[in-house]
Amino acid sequence: MRVALFVTCINDALRPRTGRAVVTLLERLGVAVDFPAEQTCCGQPQFNTGYRHATEPLVRRFDRAFRDYEYVVTPSGSCTAMVRDNYPRIGAKAAAEGRGPELTGIAAAAVPKTYELTEFLVDVLKVTDVGAYYPHTVTYHPTCHGLRMLGLGDRPRRLLEQVEGLELRELPGAEECCGFGGTFAVKNPAVSAAMGADKVRNVTATGAEAVCTVDNSCLLHIGGSLSRQGSPVRPVHIAEILASTEADAQAPVEADTKAPAASGTEGSPR
Amino acid sequence: MSVTYLGMPAFPEAAAASTRDPRLRANLTHATHTIRDKRAKAVTELADWGRLRAAGAAVKDRTLRHLDHYLEQLEAAVTDAGGQVHWAADAVEANRIVTRLVRATGETEVVKVKSMATQEIGLNEALAEAGIHAYETDLAELIVQLGDDLPSHILVPAIHRDRAEIRDIFRREMGHWGRPAPEGLSDSPAELAEAARLHLREKFLSAKVGISGANFMVAESGTLVVVESEGNGRMCLTLPETLISVVGIEKVVPTWRDLEVFLQLLPRSSTAERMNPYTSTWTGTTDGDGPRTFHLVLLDNGRTDTLADTVGRQALRCIRCSACLNVCPVYERAGGHAYGSPYPGPIGAILTPQLRGVEGSLEASLPYASSLCGACYEVCPVAIDIPEVLVHLRERVVEGGPVTRGGVRTVLKSAKGHAAERAAMRAAGWVFGHPRALRAGMRLTSRTRRLHPRRLPGPGRAWSDTRDLPAVPAESFRDWWRRTRGTSSGSKQRGDGE
């Protein structure tokens, strides 16, 4: 089975360790992973802010990057939802405007093969025990797009429940939005911050060491609020938990902020 | 649209003020969480809720597609039953018609049934200008009117007030409007309700003119329907000599069979009741029973223009249950007033900019008053995809495009004031269109990450005021892949599938 990883722009630039975790996890499960370098962004920020026309080249780019693959796997509920719900809309609207007749076909091809990571694990690979070990207390925040647009249901929980050493803590008000909402966080900062504060209060109330989601965008917002409050709760993407093994538990926490060991001249200033 | 709310600040400013009011936040959170939990329970009692919801959406869509036909059928049926039908293109015309009708009776006082349509057109204010006093008889509307306040919820207009505030308003204001509040009135719900009952009874018994809206109009029989919880509406609908009903044209349903679907959907969605307590239906006039004169004012006020929009028209399915308000995390924190119209919450965020146009700054800000979390769509009993319409309207705000205004097809220019955002989106689009440039940009960001400010300037400040920025990693995923797997996107594994 050959799978293309759509790592998403936020993971690529800001949380690369999530992408690395997906590669580790899938390869451990016997899946060959490709990373087509042609890929960039799904277009969600532009689309949701009202710049639909600006998303059309990105839909075409998605197609160029992934057309040769049977499966596209994404560690992001909202980027998967963008492809699944909005690519067909972009195609239909373009067709109605008499432009980009190929967009409808692109959408039709992309929708059935694009999977959010936990969907892919449970529905395609049919596994819930991925052999992970994570000796921590964790609370799970179901992100809105994963929950409502994709209908992930209990897939992430079923995966987490099989992780050895992991204790899952119930999150009060779990299904309420964290307040990120892409550009909403910038356009309505007061309401976004108020929503974030309530979410963080609920996360903290669980007493868990880590809060996990299927989406790093929400996690950046929740993590940013936790960090500002000096909270010790760690924001962790579910892929990183599922990729963890006993060996990782012994090793010190790998940080993205450390320069790569063999980066040569590309090393960052220390 | 409404006279009352014009000149409101754009949503973000109004909402920011509300988030700093702890009493308002506490009242709203308590009320919305209570009702949303009850609704969820009431809905899960029905095994066929999903099918009912689909039926509701289908009936509304079919009716809207043939709206002209059903409205003409309704007009004929109402006229046959002894009523008179008036058509109002906008708020000004509707107010003029109602004012003329009230004046013709020689009365200067009217009692009102809670009605969103009359809020929308600012009828009370228009009547006041003509020297006619309109008394709200719905308990929550009474609280709002006595408090010289604005409604902040579709179903519970005084949701932002707690018992102590209501007691103070009653004590202070009731005497100016009629029967004063009883001596020593406490804030117990029973005492407050009794005070309102005594105060309102005088109005019901003396009023010669009643004004209402309607939740539904049945085309086949010319019947109007009001669904309410208190029975005050029924008093206004039966006691006065003249009844004037102002109703949006989208409220028509073809038959009583269709009505049956909505009489199941509405109470469970709005008040979490299995059956509605007071459902009043009236058809024209009947000798010796109820009002002797009945007028129906059919209100357009932007609805036909909304109907012309193939994506946005689903907003006209709305049956004003307010389930979307009660689950909306943005409404819960911003409160109803921030939406600047009688239609707050998610439905208001899509309805108001369509009825009024998106050219005003408040109207242009409303489609952005959502995190697109989708909770509103999930609970909507007629399956209005509110997030879809929000994004559709955002496009109208920033990029312009074809719209219908006053029945005329026109093309809106892209909005001013989004130049910086548009430039940023364009730049991002270019970078995302060139993976090599994206990689170079990521490298530059990584290398300079020690120099990044902790607080951002400009629009980004809003983020860094309350949240820490994410630390930029030393190496992007892209570069890690190249470094560890080689330059050609994992080609070493290509073709070696299972």
pLDDT tens digit string along B77-98?
999 999 999 999 999 999 999 9
**Which of the four pLDDT bands, split at 50, 70 and 90, describes residue B448?**
confident
Q: Cβ of B31 under 8 Å from any chain A Cβ?
A: no
What's the average model confidence in pLDDT over A74-95?
Answer: 97
Which of B450, B469, B477 lies closest to A19 in CB terms? B477
The residue of B11, B29, B371 whose CB has the most chain A CBs within 10 angstroms, and thus the best one to mutate to test that interface, is B371
Do A244 and A132 touch, CB atoms closer than 8 A? Answer: yes
pLDDT at B491 over 80: no
What's the average model confidence in pLDDT over A140-152?
Answer: 97
- Calculate how close chain B gets to A119, using CA atoms only, in Å: 20
Which of B396, B459, B478 lies closest to A186 in CB terms? B459
3-state DSSP assignment of residue B154: coil
The residue of B372, B393, B463, B472 whose CB has the most chain A CBs within 10 angstroms, and thus the best one to mutate to test that interface, is B372
Burial class (CB within 10 angstroms; exposed 0-12, middle 13-18, buried 19+) of B457: exposed
Record: contact A268-B372, CB cut-off 8 A: no
pLDDT at A86 over 70: yes
pLDDT at B464: 80
pLDDT at A255: 53
Which of B459, B466, B471 lies closest to A193 in CB terms? B466
Record: contact A188-B15, CB cut-off 8 A: yes
Considering only CB atoms, which chain A residues are within 8 Å of B426? 54
Q: What single DSSP character describes residue B293?
A: E
For A55, which residue in chain B has the nearest alpha carbon?
B429
Which of B329, B463, B495 lies closest to A177 in CB terms? B329
For A226, which residue in chain B has the nearest alpha carbon?
B467
- Calculate how close chain B gets to A4, using CA atoms only, in Å: 9
Record: contact B19-A194, CB cut-off 8 A: yes
Considering only CB atoms, which chain B residues are within 8 Å of A52? 395, 399
In three-state form (DSSP H/G/I as H, E/B as E, the rest C), the secondary structure along chain A is: CEEEECCCHHHHHHCHHHHHHHHHHHHHCCCEEECCCCCCCCCHHHHHHCCHHHHHHHHHHHHHHHCCCCEEEECCHHHHHHHHHHHHHHHHHHHHCCCCCHHHHHHHHHHHHEEEHHHHHHHHCCCCCCCCECCCEEEECCCHHHHHHCCCCCHHHHHHHCCECCEEECCCCCCCCCCCCCCHHHHCHHHHHHHHHHHHHHHHHCCCCEEEECCHHHHHHHHHHHHHCCCCCEEEEHHHHHHCCHHHHHCCCCCCCCCCCCCHHHCCCC
Please provide the average confidence, as pLDDT, over all residues in chain A.
Answer: 92
Record: contact A16-B477, CB cut-off 8 A: yes
**What one-letter code names the amino acid at A112?**
P
CA neighbours closer than 13 Å in the CB half-sphere of residue B223: 16
Q: What are chain A's domains?
A: 2-124 (no CATH), 137-250 (3.40.50)
Considering only CB atoms, which chain B residues are within 8 Å of A89? 388
The Cα B197–Cα B491 span in angstroms is 79
**Which of the four pLDDT bands, split at 50, 70 and 90, describes residue B451?**
confident
Record: contact B425-A14, CB cut-off 8 A: no
Record: contact B435-A257, CB cut-off 8 A: no
List pLDDT tens digits, range A3-56: 999 999 999 999 999 999 999 999 999 999 999 999 999 999 999 999 999 999
pLDDT at B17: 93
Q: Cβ of B148 under 8 Å from any chain A Cβ?
A: no
The answer for B 36-55 residues in CB contact with A (under 8 A) is none
For A65, which residue in chain B has the nearest alpha carbon?
B489
Q: What percentage of chain B exceeds 70 in pLDDT?
A: 95
Q: Cβ of A176 under 8 Å from any chain B Cβ?
A: yes
Which residues, in sequence order, are bridge partners of residue B293?
Answer: B242
List pLDDT tens digits, range B293-340: 999 999 999 999 999 999 999 999 999 999 999 999 999 999 999 999
The answer for B 434-453 residues in CB contact with A (under 8 A) is 435, 438, 442-443, 445-447, 449-450
Q: Cβ of B372 under 8 Å from any chain A Cβ?
A: yes
pLDDT at B1: 42
How many inter-chain contacts (A to B, CB under 8 Å) are there? 248
pLDDT at B494 over 50: no
Strands (DSSP E) along B41-189, which ranges?
84-88, 109-112, 133-136
List pLDDT tens digits, range B387-397: 999 999 999 99
Considering only CB atoms, which chain A residues are within 8 Å of B429? 46, 51, 54, 57-58
Considering only CB atoms, which chain A residues are within 8 Å of B478? 7, 12, 35, 37
Burial class (CB within 10 angstroms; exposed 0-12, middle 13-18, buried 19+) of B358: buried
Record: contact B489-A179, CB cut-off 8 A: no
**Which of the four pLDDT bands, split at 50, 70 and 90, describes residue B495?**
very low
The Cα B76–Cα B426 span in angstroms is 55
Phi first, then psi, for residue B293 (nearest 5°) are: -125, 135
For A12, which residue in chain B has the nearest alpha carbon?
B477
Q: Cβ of A262 under 8 Å from any chain B Cβ?
A: yes
Record: contact B398-A61, CB cut-off 8 A: no
The answer for A 55-74 residues in CB contact with B (under 8 A) is 57-58, 61
Q: Residue B72: which H helix or E strand, with range?
A: helix B67-80
Name which of A164-173, B1-10, B398-407 the model is least confident about.
B1-10
The Cα A45–Cα A43 span in angstroms is 6
List pLDDT tens digits, range B107-146: 999 999 999 999 999 999 999 999 999 999 999 999 999 9
